[in-house]
Structures are given as structure tokens and as C-alpha cells.
Structure 1
Amino acid sequence: MSKILQKFLIVNLAIIFILSACRKKEFDEFYGRPETLADPIYQQLQAKGNFTRFLDCIDKSGYKETLSKAGSWTVFAPTDAAFTTYMTENNLTEINATLASAIVRYSMTYDGEKVERLSDNLTAKGFVKNVGFRRRTVYYDFVYDGIDNDGKAIKVIAGNRNGAYLPTDFNNKNLPYFLSPFVTFAGISALDYNYFYPNTEYTGKNVGPGKIIEQDIVAENGVIHIVDKVLTPPQSIDQYIGTKAQYGAFKSLLDKYVSYNLNTDITHRYQVLTGKSDNVYAKNYSILLGFSPNNENYLKEDANDAQIGMYTIFAPTDDAVEAYAKVLLKYYAKNRLQPGNYKAQLNELFSLRSDIIRDFINSHLYRTTVWPSKFNTVNSFLGEATKLTPANVVDKQFLSNGLFYGVNAAQNANVFSTVYGKVNLDPTYYIMKQALDVLGYAIPIKTASLKYIVIPIPDATLVSLGFSYDPFYPSSPIRGDLNILRRLLQTHIIPLGDRAVPNFATTAGILETSGGEYIKYNNGFFSSAGTEDLPAVADKSIKIDSVATAVNGADAYAAKVLMYTVLPVSKHIEKYGTLTTDPYYSFFQYLKNNVTLYTAATGAIQGVTDGTSYTVFIPTNAAIQAAVTAGLLPKLANGTPNYAPTDAGDISRVAKFIQYHIIKSTVASDGQKTGSFESLLKNDSGDAAKVTVFTNTTNTLTLRDVTNTSVNVLLGTTDRSNVLSNRTVIHQINSYLKYQF
């Protein structure tokens, strides 16, 4: 090679080298690790010198590489002093690899966050300030040894959804923290924190049982917060209750809603990891329960909603379950179940009425956090606040997926303690119970704050009327004419408002039912429009056999049903208006002869619509004569009533008079309704003339017409007031109501 060529190559290589060096420098300056960038988490802990125990755990757990390179973690790092305390308290001389892994993984949460951001919830729409108190950790349980429903030993993995298992979700446990922004937002205080962690000072920067003593140490791969306690993963509700014998009865009921389902994905993963051939079954709780006690996630309405919510369970002890079993088994233990202890009988009850056991369990399950200071402000899965107090709590745990309160009394749930509860628990009324649920009448009567009287209808009576319950028709399990059944049920449900339960045995009165119709009681007997229609005197009322009080009223038991009437209103006026001596005689004579209002073939009164409530005020015969004398009604030459006028004007006057004495609402002497009510009478513009119910007590009912003249309803024992008709009440009044158009 010539010297010229050698020199040329040397020069070109030198130029290439120089250019390459320049480009590398530019690349490193742009893409290389900045000199100002903090070291990774592992190296920073190493440099500090007082985390040798935690670093040893990191090494044993296999997370050294993870915490030594790029990533985004929040690590709550316990000091060596914290480890010394932990090992002393737990009588440990060393920490094995399994425990080390649990400590490290539970101390790591996803995404590196400073303290100021930990209380914010990261949602699909962005951060929501101050609502968070938990973060998902790296720690999760895997396959464990379990026992299936047949007592067979199997490999199990916990369900990670309410009622299901998803192989793509590891069911990570969440780490709780109590930071001032959240505590203020939630309206709780140090008392709530110290209720679960009595030996730790509340500082507003607490993580589980520990305190953050140094915060916001920024690392290349996240943020470090130094804590004074070693954090270990708590048990789930399912894990905890399974280890405590004092909750055995309640757990046995929970177990009835557990299924074990073979999961091929987890089975394959387990077999690859362990080299074993066992199948793995997912332990799933039924979706009929408020939540799954082994589910570490929350509702999953948002990917990160476990940051803002967790479950709560009030677990009654065996003694508490035994005491409350007397309520649940009251109608079954003597006649339907084999003699034995309460646990065996509850098991048998499940086979007969699983809904009772389901409701008993769900009355103790809350799909939200029930803080100690807020016991009575949060509703259970059944929609009611607990009646228990912190004084009932004998065991309290802040578990990985919920708050756990062991209690010495069972929740006296509304589904058992209200007027609905008697129907719910007694198998004699099972069809009615199902009908109340299906047709939407159950919610008001099982609300403890709403007072009711319920008159239960026995199954035998409903069957005789053509009704039954058949669960094989899920869309319409109540068989029979539902329109008739609805009206029957409404007649047997009486809202009390703020009134006390009447003394049915020795007093008399009238009560409005939930359908707007009325029933009467009189010295131990009920009557309704339908019963009063019956020809036999003995059938016109039904005997009240007994009355059972409830937290929101009473159940009044009778052997027969209170029927409604199908007769038109005119027939009940006619009943007391046929003879000249009858109290409604003059009024009915004008009505039946008025061709614009009355249809003789059907008894229909124009303007009185089927299914609508009315009150008819009927003047006495003497008051009708006074109206005739005053010129409001047509008369004969001798001054007596002309019941069948032929003059169009006279016919119109009769129609207007009658229409003004019928209002569009049921009113009775029960002390409930006062005010202004529209009548059937309307002016040419379509505006209704009104009648005012001025006073209403159990022994006084006073009206005022448009001229402000007072008229009294006659309520004596010989008067015909509070007469029951078809969604209507009929009263006798001492005068007539005067209209002005």
C-alpha cells in the first residue's frame, strides 16, 4: 500500500472517530442518565445506612433488581429500629424468605407518589382530591390448601370479584393510610384511627399501625416514605373469620353461599410454578351476598375504586347467633325442624327458607366503610343502618379488604323486626310475603321509621282465592289475577303516620289503607266494604285473633280476609235510601231520577271513575227539604221535593247539587285529612268547586262550603256516616253544601 493511501486512510479514520465521539456525546447528553437524577430506591436505602434489615428482606424476596432500576413505586420503608421492635414483639431471631417477601411486597404500592398526592384517587377521568385512604400493593396471596363443600382437601384461590374470579387479576391486598386531607374529608378523627390502632399516636401521616417519620424522598424509580413500623399484610375478612372459633356459627352460614369452581388458567399456572399436578379451584361467594369476604378488590366500578372504599362486616359471635336464632326459628323449630341445637336447626332452615338466612347474613354486611364514629349513618346491603353500637363490639380489626367488628349481638334487621318481619318469618304467610316482595309493597312496611299495621293473609286463604307462588316462573312467580291481589294487599296494609297502634280489643274507629280505601274496627272485629256487603250478619265483620307489636307498628291477625266491594257507589247509597224512613232516601231519589248523572242499568254515577277515591256527603232528609225550600232543588206544588223533574233547568240544578256533595278524595273521621278538596262540580271554564274539611278528629268532622258555611258530619251511633263503599266513604251531614255557580 502506498504511503499516500495510508495517510488518506489515517486521516479519514481520525475524522470518523472525531465525528463519532461528538455524536456519542450529544446522544449521552440528550438520552443519558442526568447527573442530577436521584439514585434508585434500593441504592438510596443502602446509602442511608439504617435500612439493613429491610434491604436484607429485599434481597431475600428477589426485589433487589426491581428496586434498583427504572420503574415507579411508592415504598414505605421501615427502619432498622422498627425491625428490632417487630422481631422482639413477634419473638423472631431472623426473617425467612417467605416473611421477607410479604414485608417487602406489602410495603410497595404502584406508582410513585408524594404524600400530598396519596389522598387523591386516580380515576379514569383524572384525580379526585382527598378521597383516598388505600393503595394497591404488590402483595397478593396465591394458591392455598382448602376444604370443599364435601369436606375434600383441595387447592384453592380466593375470588377476586364479588361472585366471580378473573385469572387476569392477582387480588392484590391494599395498604391503608390515614392522612389529614382524607380524615378531614371523611369527617372522621383520631378516635377512628385509634379505635383500630390504640398503641400508635395519630399524626395525620399514619400508614396502618405506623407513622411516616420522613416523607417524599424522590428516587429514580419512585418515592420513599420512611415509617417506624414493619408493615405486614393483614388477613382478609374471609381469612380472619375462618381462624376464629367464636364466629363459627356465622361462618357456617356464610359457607352456604360458597362454591368452588375449577379454574384451568390458575391450575396451569400453579402446575408450571410448582411442578405439582393438583387442580386449583376458585372460591366464589354467591352474588346474593352483599360482597365476597375474600375479594381484595372493591366494587370495580372504576379501576382504582379500592383507593376510596372497602367493606365492613359485623360478625356476631356464636352466643349472639344462638340468641337471635330464637327469632329466625320461631315459626319453624316446633313444627318443621328436627329437635337439636340451634346450628343444626339453622342449617335445616336454610334448606326450607334460604332467603331468611341470606337476609340474616346481609344485614351484617356493608358495601362501604363504617367508621366507628359513624355506626348509625351508613346503610347495610339491606339498606338500613346498624342498630348496634361500639359497646356491642368485642373484637375489632382493620383487615386487608374491610373493617371487621366482632359483636355480642346480632343485627335486629328490619326484615325481621318490622311488621313485614312477621309475614316474612312465618311460613303460614309465605305467598303473601312473596307477593309483597314481587309487587313492590315490601319496602315501606319494612322501613323502621314508617309506622304500619299489617293484617296478614294466610296461604290457605290466598290459595282459595286462586293465588299461588311458583318460582319456576321467575318473571311472574305470583300466579293469579294480580290486579285483584294488589287491591287485596293494599286493603291489608294500613299506614299509621304518627298515630299509635289502636286498641283494637276495646275501641272503635276507622283506618285508611294504603290503597286509599277504609276499613273499620270495633271491639275486636274488623270490617271492610266487601265484608259489609255479605248477607249473613256473622260474615259482615271478622274477628281479630291477636295483635303482635313490631318496631314500626303491629300485625293484627284474623282468620278471614278483608274483601273490597265491587258494587258501584250508588248501590251503597241505595242500601240506605230505598224506604222513606231511610237516612239517604231523599238524596238517592234525586240521584236515581237524574238522567244526566245516573245510569239505572249499571248504577254508575257520571264523573265517578272506577279506581278513583271519593267521599259522598249526603244531607239528611230534613236538610234536603231545607235545600228544596231554599230553591236549590226542584219542588212540587205543595213544597215537597220533586224527585223527577222534567224541566232541563231543574235537572241541571239537581245534578249540580249532587256533584257538589261528592269530593275527589276519601275523608273519614280519623283525624288525618283536612284542607280544600275538589268536588265533581265544575263551572263553564272547567274549574272545580271546592269543599273544605275544616276540622277532623276521631269524633268530629266539620265541612265548609264556598259560602264559608259550616256543615257537620253526623257521627252518632245511629247515624249513617263512615259507610264504606267502592274506594269511597259516605257520610251523613246535618245540612247541605251550597255552591255559587
Structure 2
Amino acid sequence: MKKKIHQLLAFSFLILLSSCSKDAYDDYYGRPDTLEPPIYQQLEARGNFKNLLVLIEKAGYKDILGKAGYWTMMAPNDEAFTKYFQQQGIIDVNKIDAETAGKIVRYALIYNAFRTEQLSDYQSGTGWVADNAFRRRTAFYDGFITKTINGQPKVIVGANRNGGYAIGDNNNKYISYFTDEYFAAKSLSAVDFNYFYPNAQYSGFNVLDSKVTQADIIAENGIIHEIDKVNLPLPTLEQYLEQNPKYSKFRELLEDHGLVSYFFSQEVTNTYRNYSGKSDDVYIKFYDPSLSFSPNNENYLKQADNDGQSDLYTILVPENAPLQEFIDKVLLKNYSSLNVLPLYIFRDFINAHMVQNAVWPSKGPSNSNALNENLRFDFNSDIVEAKILSNGFFYGTKKIQKSNLFYSVYTSAYLDPKFTMATRLMNDGSGLKEMISNISTRYTLFLPSDAKLMEMGFGYNATLSSWTYINPAVGGSSIASGLARARLLRILYNGIVLTPNGELDDLSGSGIIRTGDMDLPGEYIKWKNNKLYAAGNEVTGGVPVGIIGHEDQQNGRTYYVDNLLQYSEEMQGLKIKRLSETANSEYLSFFNYLKNSSLYDAVTGKIQGVELGTSYTFVIPNNAAIAKAITKDVLPPSVTPSSQYDKDRIANFIRAHILVNKIASDDGLTTGEFETLRKDDFGEKTYVLVQSTPGTLSFRDSYLNLAHYIPAQSNNLADRSLIHLVDNYLTYQQ
């Protein structure tokens, strides 16, 4: 009996002890009395979210929002729903189906909890960036969509990267909001807000065009911001284009000419089949990766996980009428239909209307498109509508972006199938495209056709992506692709001339001009009576380049030509030799010293130290100047002296008259001190001062001897060189 009593007392004590432990446990781990209720209960308790609560239950989110989690909810109040019912022509919330309920609820839910002061800050990978965000990712995404593609139904998902797809990323939509802090940091104002929402009032904290009537309602599982409007998920840029027929021409260029592709994905198909129970295959819709962005990508650049908080895309889309006029007058000027235009034209045209950043209305023209051109729209008169969408700003326009590519001398080749070889080379990283398509700088372009290039031995193997050249004059010998490309590049560069004042608009007279631009000067070419000559044209029997037509563009003139502006492949010494062989040649005395010197190879014409492909200026004293140099004992009287001393004097005299790495002419483009081929007794470089203005050219040595060029016998073309006759000799300090 005692044993039973003791057992009973022990059991009672354990019960008491257990009870005390539970109280202690609850005190430590239990839900604090001061903790705010979860989002669902908070909405319920406040009494003015009755309609939203019905939709939360229809959408299947009551349990989620009534328990744990970490959300921000942009919650429309009952007054917002009253306006929504009127707009939709329905009686009450019961008329809203589950699918629409899901859209409203999930688009109102932002991942993670953000108080008002945090919403304007960007969550970068390295920390918070103050006042640099105006968007957040929501719980809504489109998912799998069935569309008819080329007459066949297909289940597709949009790309969730630009030119790519990441498994497990649902391509969630973003929602935009506008705060005083963000606007102040970005120098924006209510003007920018009202440009998109002309019938709304900027309040300092707006979610799209709705006002936040009460912010920072704290809940156990997040933050609630009460708003006065019901927001449905916004379309992407792609979806808005698809919905709006007045931009159908632009959409056709984007969708129907090689910029869109559909790829089957087994992984995504497996996900779809598990989710839906259906057996369809799923295709990912990709846009050409060379486009600035994919209009169906909701994730912005994704260079950092949250970069979509701080920026979005912008697209400017012309209405059908101005676009059709551009297609007819520009794109199809030399093509029979859009179907035969090269793919790169579509890429460039679309990119001309894309910006990889948010273009705010007040800052429109200061932005650059994907071709690095400034936007050429007047945001006060050229924009017919402005929309903030889920992944970008959309501007409908009454004109096209007047892109460099379609209004410059580059356009003459770019939009004509007769010049595809020149266009290919301009586009392959040569830098020619960027140079001559700059519509703020005037150029003259001498453009050979594909037929002429092929006749002259050039070709392109598209299968191997390689250039070919077979020399028609040397028994059909061919050279490697890289050398063939370099050869053609140099010839085409001979036909590009910077002409800020239209210097070559009239070729009926005569003259000489430098090719290339100021950053990369080219060689010189001449013209006379509508015929052109580069150094190689003179060497090859004087066969000139004729003009067979021209076209004026916004930044200059394109001449269509019947021959190539060939560069010379002979040594400059041979050109000096020919100059000395004319009757009463003023070059003869100098050449007599040159040909008998140790520097000269009589067979090849090579001058020691002078290499093909390098720029030089040859300053040749005339006969009287050579006689003067002999009188002053600068040169020995004999061109074939016996002493090594005199031989060296002749060699150094010749070197002192050859300027290295510089082509000087009488155009005012080259002034300054430039190195000669001559080295002093210590092996140091010697220099000559070149002074040039339009119509004058002079050379001065270190002894202040001045030599003026003789115009009628100067500006002779050679390989990357000019040969001038001057009235004095140049010398050098020993």
C-alpha cells in the first residue's frame, strides 16, 4: 500500500514538473503577445479589405498569407474594388473568377518585406544602394502559354534571359512604384510620372498610377501598403506589341524575319507535363542574342540577381504609317521585298529602337540606343503614347529613329545587294561601319560593286567565313584569307575620304586629298576631270577610276566606281627613278646620288630602311638645290666617290630627306616636328619641322635651312608615301 502511495505521489510530482516545464517552454518559445498578426488576419481585422480577402481565398493564398512567409503586399482597399467593379461592369467580387483573383493577388505580392524607406533602395550583391530602385519582383508569372506558331499549336515559355534560358526561373513579373526619394536622386519629378499617367496624381509614393493611402502596416509575415486601385499584371513589351495592331508592322519586322526562334526543351517539357498532366512538348521562345534585349524577358540583365529593381528596358516603336513609308522608301529601295533583306538589317533596325535602360521622358534625348546613337525623338511632339509595362517602358512614336545606318554614305552599300562584299568587310570589326555611318561627320565614299571586286580577284567563302584573293595578273596566285581581307580593307579605305566641306562634290577639276579620318589617316589619292588615281593606279599603267553614278546621303556623297583605288606594291625608289627619267627632270641630280649609293637596290628600287606598308614623305631637292649642296660641301661632287667618308655623307644626306611614319602634303593636315631616316653620330633620331597650310608646304632642318615644295612637281603618289620636289636641301647637326 505504501508502495502504491509513493508511486502516486511521484506521478503527481512529475505532472506538476511537466506543467512547469511547458509554461517555461511557452514563455521562451511561444508567439509573443505583442507580435502583429499575419497579413491575412491584419487585412481581416482592419475591415476595409473585404473584397481582397475573398480574392485571396479564391486564389488559394489564405493559408500562405495567414501563416509564415516574408512578403510586401500592395493591398487594394474596398474603395479601390468599387471603382474596379464599375470599370469592369460587374456587380461585386463574386463575379471575379479564380484565375483573375490569382492575377490580382499574386501581382500585389512582392517577395520580401519592405518598409517605405527601403523600397527606394536597391538590394545589390554588395549591399544596399540608397534611392536607386523603383521596381520589385512579384509572385506572378505567365508560365506556359499555348500559341499558334506557323499554323501549329505550340506550348511555349518566354526566354528569362537575354538570348538564353535558366531552368527554375519562372520569369516573374515586376511592379513599378515611384517615391520622392528615388525621384530626387534621379532628378525626376511629377512631370515624368504624369507623362505615363496623365490622369493620375503624383503623391510621393505611388504604385503604378495608384496612391498609397496608408503605408507600413506591420504584419507577422510582412508589410502591407494600402493602395486605392486594383492592379492587374502588366504585359511585357512583347505582349503589348502583340495586343496593339497599330504597331503590327514593327512586330512583323521583329517576329517574322529571323530574329525569333523556338527550341524544344526536354527539362521544361518534363516540368510542364508533371504540372499539367498533359503530354505536349514545350518550346522556349528566344530572340536573336544580338538584340539589345529579349522583349519577353522579365529579368532585366540578370548580371546581378536583383538588378531588375533598379532598371528596365525601353523600346520606341513607330506606328504603322511612318514605318511603312520608311520600308518603301529606304529599306526596299534596292530590294524586291522584306523577305530578301539580310538578317543584319533587321537586327540593326530593331536595335536602333531599343535602349537597355529606363528612358525617362524628361531625359529622353540624352539617352543612347543599342547602336550608341542619341535618341532622335522630340518627347514633346513625336511620342503618341507612353506605357510602363512589366519589363520596360514603351513609347509609341509617329516617326522612326533616324539611325546613322540608314541615312549615311554607309547606307549606299548596306542597303544594296550589289555591294554585299564591301558591307561584309565594313561590318566585321574593321571599324569602317562606325566611321562612315556617323551622320555628324561628312564623308565621300568611292564604292566598288561585288562584280568589280570579283573581277579583280576578290571573293568570300561564306561556308568557311574566309576571304579569298586570286591575283589575275600573276598567273592566278592566291593568298591566305587574312591577307586577302587586309588587301581589300586597304583598297576600301582608299575610297573613304573625310570631306567636311564637300571637297569632292565636284571632280571636274584636279587635286589631291588624304583618305581615312583624323584618327587614322590613310593614303593620298588624286582626281582629274572626273577620274581618280591612287598610287597603284598610276603604277599599273595609269588606269584610272571612273565615276558611273552617285548618291547623296545625309553625311556626304557616295560615288559608284568602275575600278578599284589600288595601292602600290612597288618600292618608292622606282617611283623616284621614273620621276628622274622625264625630260629636263628636276629629280635627276638627287636620283643620281641615290642610285649610286649603298642605300639603293637598282633591281627592286628598295631604299635601305624604307619598308612597304609604312608611311613616308620624300623631300627631294631639285637640281639647283643639289648643286648648292655640292658648293657648300654638304655633298661630294662625285656621285661615285671612292672614300668611305663621302659615301657615308651621301647616305646620310639621302636619309635626312626621308620623313618616317608621316605623310605630309599641302593640305594643312600635317604640321610639327617629324623623325627622319637619318640618325646622328650618337645614334639619336634627327627631326625636320613640317609646316603646312592649304596650298603651302615647307620643311626646316635643325640648322634652320628652309625648303619649300614646288607645287607643280610635288604630291607624287607612292606606297603610303608622297614624293615632293623642294627648292633647298636639308642637313643635320653632326
| TM-score normalized by the length of structure 1 | 0.91
- The equivalent of 2:304 in structure 1 is 302
Opposite residue 311 of structure 1, the aligned amino acid is Y
Pair 1:602 & 2:591 matched: no
Q: Which moved more, 1:178-187 or 1:319-328?
A: 178-187
Distance 1:612 1:41, change over 3 A: same
Pair 1:530 & 2:528 matched: no
Distance 2:527 2:365 in 1: 37
State the shift of 1:427 in Å.
Answer: 1.1
Pair 1:283 & 2:273 matched: no
Distance 1:166 1:655 in 2: 70
State the shift of 1:25 in Å.
Answer: 2.2
- The equivalent of 1:425 in structure 2 is 415
Which of 465, 489, 492 in structure 2 is aligned with 1:489?
Answer: 492
Distance 1:580 1:245 in 2: 77
- The equivalent of 2:127 in structure 1 is 126
Unmatched 5+ residue regions in structure 2? 470-480
Q: Deviations over 1:351-397 (max 9, x none)?
A: xx222222222222222222222323333223323222222211221
Q: Which moved more, 1:355-364 or 1:525-534?
A: 355-364
Contact 1:506 1:524 in 2 (8 A): yes
Which of 687, 712, 732 in structure 1 is aligned with 2:725?
Answer: 732
State the shift of 1:270 in Å.
Answer: 4.6
Unmatched 5+ residue regions in structure 1? 338-344, 636-641
Opposite residue 369 of structure 2, the aligned amino acid is S
Pair 1:406 & 2:409 matched: no
Distance 1:151 1:547 in 2: 46
Q: Which moved more, 1:70-79 or 1:158-167?
A: 158-167
Contact 1:328 1:356 in 2 (8 A): no
Contact 2:705 2:729 in 1 (8 A): no
Contact 1:569 1:725 in 2 (8 A): yes
Contact 1:712 1:734 in 2 (8 A): yes
DSSP 3-state at the match of 2:428 = helix
Contact 2:147 2:153 in 1 (8 A): yes
Which of 439, 456, 466 in structure 2 is aligned with 1:448?
Answer: 439
Distance 1:621 1:178 in 2: 82
Pair 1:592 & 2:588 matched: no
Distance 1:543 1:379 in 2: 40
DSSP 3-state at the match of 1:576 = helix
Pair 1:378 & 2:378 matched: no
Contact 2:665 2:692 in 1 (8 A): no
Q: Which moved more, 1:671-680 or 1:380-389?
A: 380-389
State the shift of 1:589 in Å.
Answer: 0.9
DSSP 3-state at the match of 1:193 = helix
Distance 1:396 1:33, change over 3 A: same
- The equivalent of 2:12 in structure 1 is 14
Opposite residue 122 of structure 1, the aligned amino acid is Q
Pair 1:185 & 2:194 matched: no
- The equivalent of 1:365 in structure 2 is 354
Question: Considering only aligned residues, what root-mean-square deviation do their CA atoms show, in Å?
Answer: 2.3
Contact 1:73 1:221 in 2 (8 A): yes
Distance 1:439 1:82 in 2: 56
Which of 689, 697, 704 in structure 2 is aligned with 1:701?
Answer: 697
Opposite residue 128 of structure 1, the aligned amino acid is V
- The equivalent of 1:212 in structure 2 is 212
- The equivalent of 1:58 in structure 2 is 56
Which of 558, 561, 580 in structure 2 is aligned with 1:558?
Answer: 561
Which of 432, 436, 439 in structure 1 is aligned with 2:426?
Answer: 436
- The equivalent of 2:262 in structure 1 is 260
Contact 2:467 2:484 in 1 (8 A): no
Distance 2:485 2:626 in 1: 43
Q: Deviations over 1:149-191 (max 9, x none)?
A: x222333333322234445121111001122333233343322
Distance 2:200 2:173 in 1: 22
State the shift of 1:425 in Å.
Answer: 0.9
- The equivalent of 1:681 in structure 2 is 678
| TM-score normalized by the length of structure 2 | 0.92
DSSP 3-state at the match of 2:713 = coil
Pair 1:147 & 2:148 matched: yes
DSSP 3-state at the match of 2:366 = coil
Contact 2:569 2:612 in 1 (8 A): no
Distance 2:203 2:641 in 1: 92
Q: Deviations over 1:483-511 (max 9, x none)?
A: 32232122222344x55443333443322
DSSP 3-state at the match of 1:188 = coil
The equivalences for 1:150-169 within 5 A come to 150-169=150-169
Pair 1:720 & 2:713 matched: yes
Distance 2:705 2:562 in 1: 46
DSSP 3-state at the match of 1:455 = strand
DSSP 3-state at the match of 1:235 = coil
Q: Which moved more, 1:128-137 or 1:288-297?
A: 288-297
Distance 1:474 1:220 in 2: 63
Distance 1:580 1:173 in 2: 83
Distance 1:499 1:692, change over 3 A: farther
State the shift of 1:531 in Å.
Answer: 0.9
State the shift of 1:450 in Å.
Answer: 4.2
- The equivalent of 2:614 in structure 1 is 612
- The equivalent of 1:24 in structure 2 is 22
State the shift of 1:544 in Å.
Answer: 2.4
Contact 1:544 1:557 in 2 (8 A): yes
State the shift of 1:218 in Å.
Answer: 2.1
State the shift of 1:145 in Å.
Answer: 3.5
Q: How many residues align?
A: 710
Which of 16, 21, 33 in structure 2 is aligned with 1:35?
Answer: 33
Q: Deviations over 1:69-124 (max 9, x none)?
A: 11100111122222222332343323413222211111110000112222222233
Opposite residue 562 of structure 1, the aligned amino acid is L
Which of 642, 652, 658 in structure 1 is aligned with 2:648?
Answer: 652
Distance 2:92 2:586 in 1: 100
Identity among equivalent positions (%) equals: 37
Q: Which moved more, 1:462-471 or 1:426-435?
A: 462-471
Opposite residue 658 of structure 1, the aligned amino acid is I
Opposite residue 366 of structure 1, the aligned amino acid is V
Distance 1:240 1:111 in 2: 28
Contact 1:434 1:469 in 2 (8 A): no
Distance 2:732 2:571 in 1: 26
- The equivalent of 1:342 in structure 2 is none
Distance 1:159 1:249 in 2: 23
State the shift of 1:244 in Å.
Answer: 1.3
DSSP 3-state at the match of 2:447 = coil
- The equivalent of 1:113 in structure 2 is 114
- The equivalent of 1:340 in structure 2 is none
Opposite residue 627 of structure 1, the aligned amino acid is A
DSSP 3-state at the match of 1:321 = helix
Distance 1:24 1:507, change over 3 A: farther
Contact 1:418 1:446 in 2 (8 A): yes
Opposite residue 489 of structure 1, the aligned amino acid is L
DSSP 3-state at the match of 1:504 = coil
